[in-house]
Amino acid sequence: MIDMTQTKSTESDKIICPRFEQTFAILGKKWTGLIIDVLLDGPRRFKDISHAIPGVSDRVLVERLKELEKEEIVTRDLDETCEIRSGYRLTEKGTSLKNVMDEVQVWANQWICDSDL
């Protein structure tokens, strides 16, 4: 006979997938989701991203953009008209987050109340 107490798993036995954990380590940082959301509308210059996300400091924005570049979610492109200016755009990897971002918005619309803001 099998002892069910040995085969039954508990919530404390659940192991989180390392890929799932890494995804939240990347996307769960403050401002990251908002940066991705802004760039889903197309390439933007730094100042335009900063303007679109009130409250983010330039220092933190630079840090998040570098992190997203490292993860190959965002890329920085030089403007063809002037080599000094550059803009940021989502890579294919970053653009593939559109459905995720859309679903987060659906969830927020359903569960986050104006009084929670």
Task: For residue range 23-45, list pLDDT tens digits in order.
Answer: 999 999 999 999 999 999 999 99
In the numeric block, which tokens belong to residue 31? 């401002």
Strand, coil or helix: what is 3? coil
Q: What DSSP string runs through 6-33? A: HH---GGG----HHHHHHHHHHTSTTHH
Contact 32, 67 (CB under 8 A): yes
Q: What is the pLDDT of residue 117?
A: 73
Q: What do you get for the CA distance between the two ends of the chain, in Å?
A: 55
Give the mean pLDDT of the chain. 88
pTM above 0.85, yes or no: no
Q: Estimate the share of the chain in helix, then strand, then coil, as percent rounded to the nearest 5.
A: 55, 10, 35
4: pLDDT strictly greater than 50: no
9: pLDDT strictly greater than 80: no
Q: Which CATH number fits domain 16-116: 1.20.120.50, 1.10.10.10, 3.30.499.10, 3.40.50.300?
A: 1.10.10.10
Helix (H) or strand (E) run with residue 108 in it: helix 98-111
Q: What is the pLDDT of residues 90-102, one digit of tens each?
A: 999 999 999 999 9
